[in-house]
Structures are given as structure tokens and as C-alpha cells.
Amino acid sequence: MSEGKLHGKVAIVTGGGSGIGEATCERLGRAGASVVVADINTKTAEATADRIRDDGGTAIAVRFDLLDTASIEALAQATMDEYGRIDVLHNNAVHNPPHVFPKDQGILEMDSAVWDETFAGNARGTMEVTRAVVPHMIAGGDGGSIINTSSGAGQMGQMTMSAYGPSKGAINAFTRYAALQFAPHRIRCNALILPLVLTKGLESLFPKETIDEVVSRTLLKEPTRPHDVAAVVEFLASDDARLITGKLWEI
């Protein structure tokens, strides 16, 4: 594989076994990064890492649980044990499981447990992964780039998803705090404000008519796909974006 713009960098991608994370892992691998595919699903993480290696790249798979502090700390340590440094963190994993998603309705109808679990996975999970990784970035002395996956749901009100949306809004605020606090170490932090992204999982969840209606309201009338997001992550991870931090990127 030829040297890309991320040659020599080590990148952790959470939720890397499928969807946006899978596409991002493969893109970063092609750009020359050594990729840590972090996912709760060991099988899909291993499959993604195998494809990167088959394509001439470098990758390992690490199982981790966004709700488990010990596994988050183990993810950071496993990366250091394997590669000795961390340059890029894509906080992409999301906690929106089948037993929670249908119950995330209006505020008056929502059980507090739905709120608590959603925030534990999305807002707290993003914070804990960042907290586990940044000390290694600081010790490396070369700065770093953190890219958080957020959502348009965190920017506006909706009739449902009353826990998911605010949890993504919390990630937006956290991004700005992290950008300010880590700037002296040349560690940048940005967030991606995503629309409906046509992952395989999403296409199986919503009827085609619903997806088509959402896409019809976009300016370019084009669906956003995982590889579109991966391209922006690659840019923000690279030195081309060395002066960009604290920004919320709407895609």
C-alpha cells in the first residue's frame, strides 16, 4: 500500500465493525493509518480488520463495551500495547439498542430509565473513551485528532427520540469543551452532525418510502452513505485539518 496522508498515525474507531465505523476504518486504513477496530461485536470487528489487512493495511480488532469503563480503559491499553501511540480517535459508537429505541418517545411518555441508559452510552461513553485515550496522545507529544459522531437530532426538537437527541446535543457541547481543554497539547476535537445515513442497518429498519421522503428534503436530493462520512473523518484526522478544532460539521 502506498503512503497516504495518515501514514504513521494510529487511529481508534469505535463502532468500527459495521456501518459508518466500518467504512471509516477501511478508509483510514487505505490512507496509511494503523487502525484499531473497536466494537462490541467481535465477529464484525475481526471481519473489518481482516479486510484492511487483505488490502495491504495494518489493523487489529478489539472488543469493547461503551457502557463498561474497564473495557474502555482496556481498549486504550491494547492500542498502546500493539502500536505504542494513539493519534486519532473517532468516537463513532452509539448506544441505541432495540430494547431502548422503541421506548424513546415524547418526554411525557418516556421512562427515566430510557433517558439514563441513552445518556450513559452516548454522552458518558464518548466522554470515557476520550478520557482514556487523551493521556496517551499527550504523552506522545505530537498532538492528535478526536472526531465525535453526533446527529442532527441534537440540533433540533422532534416529537420522538427525546433522549437520543439531547444525548447527541451533549456530545456537541462536550466537543467544544474538549477542544478548549486539549488545545495546549495540540489535540483537536470536532464533531460530525449527521443526517440520516444509509447504513445497511438503517435500510432494514425504515421502509424505502420513508427514506426516499427524507432524502427528497435535502438540497442535493442525494442520500448520505457511510463512505461520505468516512471521507470527512479522514480529512479531520489528517494534518490538512491541523487548524480546525471545536467545530460542528454538518454533513
Report d(CA 206, CA 184) in Å as an integer: 44
Q: Which residue has the cell 436530493?
A: 221
Residue of 64, 83, 115, 164 with catalytic role:
164
Report d(CA 180, CA 160) in Å as an integer: 32
Task: Please give the grid coordinates belonging to residue 50.
Answer: 481482516
Q: Quick one: which H or E segment has residue 43?
A: helix 42-54
DSSP 8-state code for residue 56: T
Q: How far is CA 22 from CA 29, 84, 176, 204, in A?
A: 11, 23, 26, 17
Report d(CA 43, CA 1) in Å as an integer: 25
Tally Cβ neighbours within 10 Å of residue 79.
24
Q: Which residue has the cell 464533531?
A: 191
Which residues touch 13 (CB under 8 Å, ≥6 apart)?
21, 24, 25, 28, 35, 36, 37, 38, 90, 92
Q: Quick one: which H or E segment has residue 90?
A: strand 88-91
Pinpoint the alpha helices (H) of 153-251: 164-182, 200-205, 208-216, 226-237
Pairing relation of β-strands 187-194 and 248-250?
Answer: parallel
Say whether 164 is catalytic: yes
Q: Where in the sequence numbering do the catalytic residues fall? A: 164
